[in-house]
């Protein structure tokens, strides 16, 4: 049985403020929970209605009723498990490799897709500005499909970090150099900007090379979505390796 105070606690983890306060986040769905359990991320407790699952994971799993699952779930149709995990401590950035940095990306779906892209392209660290949407937001977790356990995600002040960094900083801009022109170096930082405003002025001032994806269609298409632009630029970085 899940007691009232625990229900309240789990529900509170839907909010960033409480996630940061407790250093924990909540994940739903058998597939993603299993992926996280198999990763370096520590499970605090995993509630499940599935007897077999609980038997198999006795150390952290706890059997609950369908009624209790409904109480702690934020989904209309809860999917067997709700896991509480400890937010992992970020690892140091490997400056001999590529890092992706996000300057205030706000949409959970975009962040989730970008985490998945980092995983696919072997980008170890994703550096997020403090105003980027929280990666432990339930909508982000849903969009990452488990990739969140394989990418080191760090929130920091981009300006401070860039000022202390010696690696080339690439930024995506509408008016940058065509990205196909010159091969990409073996390491660096790729900065992607906010959905509506792009990269902020203070970060732009620290970018050492502005790149753009050329537009082949009519000049009326407004811009590429930040997640699709990240996909193309990561492919450009990796294809020149």
Q: In the complex with a second copy, which residue's Cβ is closer, 65 or 180?
A: 180
113 binds a second copy (CB under 8 A): yes
Tell me the H-state helices in 29-79.
Answer: 30-37, 51-56, 66-72
Whole-angstrom distance, CA of residue 52 vs CA of residue 47: 12
Residue of 54, 150, 192, 199 interacting with a second copy (CB under 8 A): 150
Straight-line distance from the first to the last Cα atom of the chain, in angstroms, rounded to the nearest whole number: 54
For the CB of residue 13, give the shortest distance to a second copy in the complex, in Å: 25
Helix H or strand E encompassing 110: helix 108-120
Residues 212-231 that bind a second copy (CB under 8 A): 213-218, 220-222, 224-225, 227-229, 231
DSSP-assigned beta bridge partners for residue 48: 63, 81
For the CB of residue 223, give the shortest distance to a second copy in the complex, in Å: 8
Residue of 9, 18, 53, 121 interacting with a second copy (CB under 8 A): 121
Residue of 146, 171, 188, 198 interacting with a second copy (CB under 8 A): 146
120 binds a second copy (CB under 8 A): yes
Query: Which residues are CB-neighbours of 182 under 8 A, at least 6 positions away?
Result: none
Q: In the complex with a second copy, which residue's Cβ is closer, 45 or 224?
A: 224
Q: b or e along 123-145 (b: 16 or more beta carbons within 10 Å of the residue's beta carbon)?
A: bbbbbbbeebbbbbbbebbbbbb
Interacting residues with a second copy (CB under 8 A): 109, 113, 116-123, 145-147, 150, 180, 213-218, 220-222, 224-225, 227-229, 231-232, 235-236, 238-239, 241
């Amino acid at each position: 049985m899940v007691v009232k105070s625990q229900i309240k606690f789990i529900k509170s983890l839907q909010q960033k403020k409480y996630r940061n306060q407790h250093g924990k986040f909540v994940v739903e769905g058998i597939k993603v929970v299993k992926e996280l359990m198999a990763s370096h991320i520590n499970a605090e407790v995993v509630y499940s209605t599935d007897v077999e699952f609980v038997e198999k994971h006795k150390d952290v799993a706890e059997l609950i009723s369908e009624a209790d699952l409904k109480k702690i779930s934020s989904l209309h149709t809860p999917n067997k498990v709700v896991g509480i995990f400890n937010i992992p401590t970020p690892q140091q950035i490997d400056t001999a490799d590529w890092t992706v940095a996000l300057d205030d990306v706000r949409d959970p779906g975009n962040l989730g897709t970008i985490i998945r892209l980092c995983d696919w392209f072997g980008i170890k660290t994703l550096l997020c500005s403090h105003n980027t949407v929280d990666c432990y937001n339930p909508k982000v977790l849903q969009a990452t499909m488990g990739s969140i356990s394989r990418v080191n995600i760090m929130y920091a002040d981009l300006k401070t970090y860039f000022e202390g960094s010696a690696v080339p900083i690439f930024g995506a801009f509408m008016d940058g150099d065509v990205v196909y022109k010159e091969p990409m170096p073996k390491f660096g930082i790729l900065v992607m900007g906010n959905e509506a405003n792009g990269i902020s002025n203070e970060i732009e001032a620290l970018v050492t090379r502005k790149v753009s994806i050329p537009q082949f269609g009519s000049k009326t298409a407004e811009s590429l979505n930040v997640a699709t632009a990240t996909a193309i630029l990561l492919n450009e970085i990796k294809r020149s390796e």
